[in-house]
Structure 1
Amino acid sequence: MASSKQIRNVTIVGANGTVGAPILSALLAAGHKTTVLTRPGSTKTFPSAVMVHVSDYSDENFISSSLMDQDVLILALAFTAYDAQVPLIKAAAKAGVPYIVPCEFGSDPTHPKLNAEIELMNVKAPYRKLIEDLGVSSWIGVVNNPWVEFSMRLGLYGIDMKRRIATFYDEGNTKANFTTLKRVGETLAALFSLPEDELAKHTNEFVYFNSFYASQRDFLASAMRATDTTEEDWTITNISTDKVLQDARGADPSARMMLLFALVFKEGYGGDYNSKVVDYEKLGLVGEELDAVMKSLTQELVA
């Protein structure tokens, strides 16, 4: 565990979103002095401990004044709003914010084979470059692979809990790293609780988050325990990852959408980053239980 816990001033943009909400909760639980920047017209309310600034994201001067004395700016915007990061990053530089977490929260942008197949991976690079070019802030990127709860709800791991259908990529045995939304928030909050000399080791680098190192068969086994079923109760089929890759290269829109999830389970495409995972013992975070997560999802999806 960290020898001393540091409390930082953290501003988050997108605090009511899919990943932003659990990040906000974790920051507050860790004791960070947290500010939310939200757009005019938002009806979202926040805990009394949160300072709220309301502004259009393009108003660099106002945002810059709001970011004075902040240690961290976390950008948790949807992928459709990536360009909104530009004025926010510039405002952070004007305010002298030391750390920015840009919109990443996905698969490994450093993996060459994955980047060659997934165009969206390359879309993120200019925002990191902008931070570096401005020369004031440092970025810390988050790699977490597709979120567990989000993906399981939509059947994106190939496992449909409600209909009891499992579609394995190849044989379903390839292990990869997966992170819950809750763990994304907890890990970020713990990371920014590190002493400065420890946190500085992560500047302009990616940090690899993880809840579970698992295969599709591991997820199915957990789902069966949660639903008190056996393989006989499920319809199980297989699909070739090579076929998915071939179809995606043919520009079929639905195939391209599913390509990322197939490649997570294809050996050699960066889904397995287990050797790079952040030191959770140093962060003071205990492991999660896949069965507990699956049981919660079962109560939500199957009941």
Structure 2
Amino acid sequence: MASSSSNHLKNIAVVGASGNIGSYIVSALLAKRCFNVNAISRIESKATFANGVTVTKVDYNKPDTVVEALKGQDVLIITMSAFAHDAQPKLIRAAADAGVPWVLPNEFGMYNTEEAQNDTIGSSKTKAKELIESLGVSSWLGVTCGFWYEYSLSGGSYGIDVAKREAVFFDKGTQRLNTSTWPQVGRAVASLISLPVSSLDAYRNRMLYISSFALSQRDMLKAVQRATGTTDSDWKITSEPTKQRYADAKEKMKSGDHSAFVKALYTRYFIDEEGLYEKTHELANEKLGLPEEDLEEATKAAVELQKSGYWN
């Protein structure tokens, strides 16, 4: 139940509140001016948080501290590294023990089919949702936003190296996929949990899909060129067969090359329109009141992120 007699959620616990996506979710929640935001932080963490955020320290080796931190919370939002496999089940069990009615598990990325997700991430996300349901206390809300646009573009994961002015097209570079900016994901989460509890039933134990843009690599490169005042002649442009690129990355992962994970993850979603989830799933942008975004501004943000030394 909600924390008050109203039909709205109020107390929101966020794990990873100072992180890449967590900080944008927190900003969007605070902008609503109707939530009490509680950052759940490891006891040894030195992270700092926005004004207006309550900080509660926990020790994951002492489950009681996590349960205590989550008592009275209406929602638990989990944002963390895809490799933090051990923490999420602990948080989910603690949420059930504390009676938290809603959990947003560590999604906030690309999803279309279980097959594609399990090919790359593995079954950990599926198991997290199954665990929430099996405990019989909380319900989950899954937010699929595609890969983060400014993050993925600035870091070269979309095959475009802004610093070196090199682009590798997967096949012809014309396959589109859905992608979202950090601010749009934050707005989506805040809008979702601002809905009346009675309206949230429509999304109970279901994935919800949002998107900022549906773009091909060629679309992205043209946007980067506009942002940097360059043309094709300023860039080294090559191509690779998408399925071979994916197969090569998977082989490297099997041999223990962890750096190949990102290459495999991104390439997988350029195969068979797997990353263009708007073709098979209705987008919730309009229902959540999300604004249409400016591709030029988002691309400039990606270019500036690369220039800022973020990836160093």
Q: TM-score, normalised by structure 1?
A: 0.90
Task: Give the 3-state SS of the residue equivalent to 2:220 in structure 1.
Answer: helix
Task: Give the 3-state SS of the residue equivalent to 2:152 in structure 1.
Answer: helix
Task: Give the 3-state SS of the residue equivalent to 1:45 in structure 2.
Answer: coil
Runs of at least 5 residues in structure 2 that lack an aligned partner in the other structure:
1-5
Tell me, yes or no, if structure 1 residue 274 matches structure 2 residue 278. yes
How far is 1:186 from its partner? 1.1
Tell me, yes or no, if structure 1 residue 54 matches structure 2 residue 36. no
Deviation string, structure 1 residues 176-201 (Cα, Å, up to 9, x no partner): 10011221111101110111222121
Cα 1:154/1:7, change in 2 over 3 Å: same
How far is 1:125 from its partner? 1.7
Give the Cα separation in 1 of the matches to 2:167 and 2:297: 20
How far is 1:145 from its partner? 2.2
Task: Give the 3-state SS of the residue equivalent to 1:250 in structure 2.
Answer: helix
Tell me, yes or no, if structure 1 residue 295 matches structure 2 residue 300. yes
User: Matches of residues 21-60 of structure 1 in structure 2 within 5 Å?
Assistant: 21-31=23-33, 32-60=35-63
Deviation string, structure 1 residues 275-298 (Cα, Å, up to 9, x no partner): 424322221221111110112233
Give the Cα separation in 1 of the matches to 2:251 and 2:39: 43
**59, 72, 76: which one aligns with 1:73:** 76
Task: Give the 3-state SS of the residue equivalent to 1:224 in structure 2.
Answer: helix
Task: Give the 3-state SS of the residue equivalent to 1:291 in structure 2.
Answer: helix
How far is 1:7 from its partner? 5.2
Q: Tell me what 1:228 maps to.
A: 229
User: Matches of residues 1-303 of structure 1 in structure 2 within 5 Å?
Assistant: 6=8, 8-31=10-33, 32-108=35-111, 110-112=113-115, 114-115=116-117, 117-118=119-120, 120-251=121-252, 253=257, 255-268=260-273, 270-275=274-279, 276-302=281-307
Task: Give the 3-state SS of the residue equivalent to 1:81 in structure 2.
Answer: coil
Runs of at least 5 residues in structure 1 that lack an aligned partner in the other structure:
none
Give the Cα separation in 1 of the matches to 2:212 and 2:122: 22
Give the Cα separation in 1 of the matches to 2:191 and 2:245: 38
Cα 1:159/1:96, change in 2 over 3 Å: same
How far is 1:58 from its partner? 3.7
How far is 1:219 from its partner? 0.4
Give the Cα separation in 1 of the matches to 2:122 and 2:283: 21
Cα 1:272/1:53, change in 2 over 3 Å: same
Task: Give the 3-state SS of the residue equivalent to 2:147 in structure 1.
Answer: coil
Give the Cα separation in 2 of the matches to 1:168 and 1:128: 35
How far is 1:142 from its partner? 2.1
Deviation string, structure 1 residues 39-59 (Cα, Å, up to 9, x no partner): 112222323421111111243
Tell me if the contact between 2:147 and 2:178 (Cα under 8 Å) persists in the aligned partners. Answer: no
Task: Give the 3-state SS of the residue equivalent to 1:261 in structure 2.
Answer: helix
Deviation string, structure 1 residues 144-165 (Cα, Å, up to 9, x no partner): 2221122122111011112111
Percent of residue pairs identical: 39
Deviation string, structure 1 residues 171-228 (Cα, Å, up to 9, x no partner): 0111110011221111101110111222121111111121111110110111111111
